[in-house]
Structure 1
Amino acid sequence: MKKEDLSILFERTLACDYDDDGAWEAVNALRSQGGREVFGRAAQWLKSARPLERARAADILGQIGVGPGRAHESPTEACELLIELLLGEQHPRAAASALVALGHIQDSRALPVIYRFIGNEDPVLRHAVAFALGCFVQDTASHPGLMLLMSDSDEDVRDWATFSLGVWGDLDSARVRDALARRLDDSFENVRLEAIAGLAKRHDARVLPLLIEALEWPEAQDDPEPKLIEAACALLSLSKEPRGWVGEDYARALRQRFRGEIAPSWQ
């Protein structure tokens, strides 16, 4: 790609606001292009006085070179640069982008700097921490942070942390299960659903009453919530959804399978 074309792509990443589709298309094009020139320009932007340029640099470096059959081309170098940025970064948008980027890279050296932001007053930053820690969910060092964020005041932060620990992650322990069980009565439905799915994945019987009740709702007969079906299939050890089943079919199968593990009033 010509230098002029690269320059145009870099400038397009700054168009409109941070979530602009066109800007993200340019970010993805630069990630896909990769190479030392793209890496070098992004590294220079990390030192920019403009927060958006620092944020875009982090967005690019977090997944540079990544694509079908292609891994991150310079994970160690990118990780070191992003850690250096975060040690002094004050702007929430730039810091959030760097945290997400470190999550994508998954270098455990980043965990201490990720944890530095876990109590930040900005929910956007705490959500970025939840995402980053979720990328390390197979490492138990991420679990204390995820468990803390599962009770965050922001529902989206709770949602991502609960999804990460319960569904994205595979590790099982009493602490993990108890943390998920505490979210079964969360005020945000998405959090409750992630907790249900996470406990069902671990075949924890505490999820049965709530799951069966939800599967018997009228709404679950016409258009059942996918997370509920996912949970039921996990508990029933079904590799795929039985054709034609609706919520009450799953509920009936659960009652039969777990008859001795459900309180009498629920059988």
Structure 2
Amino acid sequence: MKKQDLVTLFERTLACDYDDDSAWEAVNALRKRGGREVFGTAAQWLKSPRPLERARGADILGQIGVGPGRPHESPAEACELLIELLLNEQHPRVAASALIALGHIEDSRALPVIYRFIGHEDAVLRHAVAFALGCFVKDPASHPGLMLLMIDADQDVRDWATFSLGDLGDLDSPRVREALAARLDDAFESVRIEAIAGLAKRHDLRVLSVLIETLESQEDPEQKLIDAACALLGLGREPAGWTGLDYAEALRARFNGEATPKWQ
């Protein structure tokens, strides 16, 4: 790729709003291209007075060089630069981009700085914290933060944190189960479904009655509900042609009265 082509791609990342598809196509092209020239420009942008440039620099550094069979080119160096940025960053969008980038890199040195933003007033930034901690879900140090974010005022933050601890994570402990069970009556349906999936994965029968009720209420149940039912029923694969009502009936027959109230 010619130098001018790289300049054009970098310019395209700034030409539109942050969430614009064309800008993200340019970000992804630069990530795929990788190399020291791209890395150097992105790193320099972290020091820009323009928030969008700092955010784009973080977006690129978080996954530079990553692709099928291709790991991050310089994870340790990128991690250090992003941590340095976050130590003094005040702009929520920039901080969110850097947190997400650190999540992608998965260097445990980032955890202390990620935790610094867990109580931030901006919900977009707290969602970025939930994403970043979810990337570290195999590290027990991430679990207290995820549990706290599972009771966040913002439904999308609760949703990602519940998904991370329940689905992405494999830890099975009383604290994890209690945190998931507490979300079975969440006001946001997506959070409830993530809690159902996480408890069913751990074969916790507190999920039984709410799973049956949800299966019966949805004409075309979400795949996570089907997976949850299969997990409790011990099914290696989905029975052909089964509806939500079929799964609900099978769960009732299998557990024969054990569909206890969800708080028991």
For the aligned pair, the TM-score class normalised by the smaller chain equals over 0.9
Match of 2:132 in 1: 132
Q: Could you tell me whether the CA contact under 8 Å between 2:127 and 2:156 is conserved in 1?
A: yes
Match of 1:183 in 2: 183
Q: What do residues 187-228 of structure 1 show as CA deviations (whole Å, max 9, x unaligned)?
A: 1111001000000011000000000111122x33xx122221
Structure 2: 5+ residue stretches without partners: none
Structure 1 segments (4+ residues) deviating >4 Å: none
Specify the code of the residue in structure 1 equivalent to 2:237: K
CA distance in 1 between partners of 2:15 and 2:202 (Å): 45
Match of 1:225 in 2: 222
* Mapping of residues 184-199 of structure 1, within 5 Å: 184-199=184-199
Match of 2:252 in 1: 255
Percent identity over the alignment is 81
Match of 2:117 in 1: 117
- Distance apart, 1:139 and its partner CA: 0.7
CA distance in 1 between partners of 2:235 and 2:24 (Å): 38
Match of 1:102 in 2: 102
Specify the code of the residue in structure 1 equivalent to 2:241: G
Match of 1:11 in 2: 11
- Distance apart, 1:2 and its partner CA: 1.0
TM-score by length of 2: 0.97
Match of 1:33 in 2: 33
Q: Could you tell me whether the CA contact under 8 Å between 2:206 and 2:260 is conserved in 1?
A: no
- Distance apart, 1:261 and its partner CA: 3.0
CA distance in 2 between partners of 1:260 and 1:112 (Å): 47
- Distance apart, 1:246 and its partner CA: 0.2
Match of 1:56 in 2: 56
SS at match of 2:7: helix
- Distance apart, 1:66 and its partner CA: 0.2
CA distance in 2 between partners of 1:202 and 1:81 (Å): 39
Specify the code of the residue in structure 1 equivalent to 2:150: M
* Mapping of residues 64-75 of structure 1, within 5 Å: 64-75=64-75
Q: What do residues 13-42 of structure 1 show as CA deviations (whole Å, max 9, x unaligned)?
A: 012100000000000000000001100000
Structure 1: 5+ residue stretches without partners: none
Specify the code of the residue in structure 2 equivalent to 1:179: A
- Distance apart, 1:262 and its partner CA: 2.7
TM-score by length of 1: 0.96
- Aligned residue-pair number: 261
